[in-house]
A = this chain, B = another copy of it.
Amino acid sequence: MKISEAESLVMEVLWRQHPLAAEEVVAALAEAQQWQEATVKTLLNRLLKKGAIDAEKEGRRYLYTPVLRREDWVLEESQGLLERLFNGRVAPLVAHFSQHRKLSRKDVAELRKLLEELDP
């Protein structure tokens, strides 16, 4: 499922909480993005058409719920990037970050822990 940048911001709102009415999505986005209401509605419609979200009537409005799971989307996006840039492998990405000093102390700690717990 292909989600554009702007659309993904709408999805993030719905992933955090759902179902939500358009108005609520607008409100949630108002701070970060300064989008007009119409803009958000367009994005909701496009997401609907793509099947990334679902709308169910509630009185005179719709409540929107994600269909696409963040989990899956994140995996798709990440794998896409890894394939394009790192031959599809994770370690080279981490190495790249390491070389550029982009690994925080916290990252290192978490990675160590993760690896310890792996494949015991």
List residues of A whose CB falls within 8 A of some B CB: 8, 74-75, 77-79, 81, 84-86, 89-98, 100, 102-104, 106-108, 110-112, 114-115, 118-119
Residues of B within 8 A of A90 (CB): 93-94, 97, 102-104, 107, 111
Binding site secondary structure of chain A: helix
Taking each of A74, A91, A92, which has the highest tally of chain B beta carbons within 10 Å of its own beta carbon? Answer: A91
Given A78-B96, A100-B75, A102-B79, residue A111 in contact with residue B85 (CB < 8 A): no
29 residue pairs bridging A and B, Cβ less than 8 Å apart: A8-B84, A74-B85, A75-B96, A75-B102, A77-B81, A77-B84, A78-B81, A79-B102, A81-B81, A89-B106, A89-B107, A90-B93, A90-B97, A90-B102, A90-B103, A90-B104, A90-B107, A91-B111, A92-B110, A93-B93, A95-B114, A98-B114, A103-B118, A108-B115, A108-B118, A108-B119, A111-B111, A112-B115, A115-B115
